[in-house]
Structure 1
Amino acid sequence: MKKSHAEIASMSNVSRAFWENREFLKNFLKRFLYKAEDIEDVAQEAYMKAYHAEQKNGVERPQAYLFKVAKNIALNELNRKSRQMTDYIEDRIASIPVDGNDSVEDELEAQQSVKLYYEAVASLPKKCRQVFLLRKVNGMSQQEIADHLEISISTVEKHLRNGTKRSRAYIQNCHQSGANGEQRLAQKKSQGRL
């Protein structure tokens, strides 16, 4: 839909910033979101929030404010989806029927392993974690991740290598720390200090 100069000039500052930068805003949101409908929804929501803020308090730099609002909404959406995925995985694990041969200790160990994996992934640097989760949770190809984040495939590969290596090291370090802690506890018990 094409607007005349007179129509654009009569718009509020936020409306004009949105109208003039809507495609750039959508491309910016592709850094955070994958689906076109999510990008469109976030762009519209950002416009509405920025417009209401302008009507209520005024907005000094409408374009910058609009992009900041859009980024915050996109990050909140990513966090919400991440929590949903975590909840889904936890629900799926909890719904797996326990074999009569599994002991309470086996079940507890499995739950601790999943928790340790979550902690390992959460400990990754932000961009590395984002690439790692897009690949492992969302199942995106390396090319899709590169396009989505506007980075090279070699950078995607680097983040995946580092994510895998760091996650394994984190888990291994925790297992070694746990084993050392169990050995110290057993030693204290045998010496009667516990």
Structure 2
Amino acid sequence: MELSRIYAIEAPKLQRYFRARLRGSDDIGDLVHETFVRLLGALDTGNPLRPGAYLQRIARNLLFNRTKRLENRLAGFHMSFDECYELATPPNQGEEIEVEDMMRIYRKALSELPDKTRQAFLLHRVDELTYREIGERLGISIPTVQYHIARALAHIDAALEQE
């Protein structure tokens, strides 16, 4: 299927997906664009069988990465109100609450995974190890690593979708 047709079909779906999860955000167009940029990168290595599902996976990963970055920024933000009299921008409590909710769901879903699946997923996402490195560390084959990571992603995606 050609990219312009995929875009015509999938871009509105992605906009609705991002809009539902990022209420009031101005980044929706940028996220849709980034999703398609990443799809183009994947098309260089081969055509995904189901581009819509592949785009959805990319979109979920973008939201996950965005949430992690925001959580890291919030964790590193320390300011005493005694040190300043006025904040430069008003606090956005809604975004913080959304991040907290998403992270609570993510942690719960992660804790529900079998040990080896959780280990493989964390080694890939947190420690940024390759499938080969994970396989060597856990004593399993690369296809088994792929299975565990796919299983973890599916479980986490389902948990996030329920909320």
| TM-score between both structures, scaled by the size of structure 2 | 0.46
Larger radius of gyration: 1
Which has the larger helix fraction?
Answer: 1
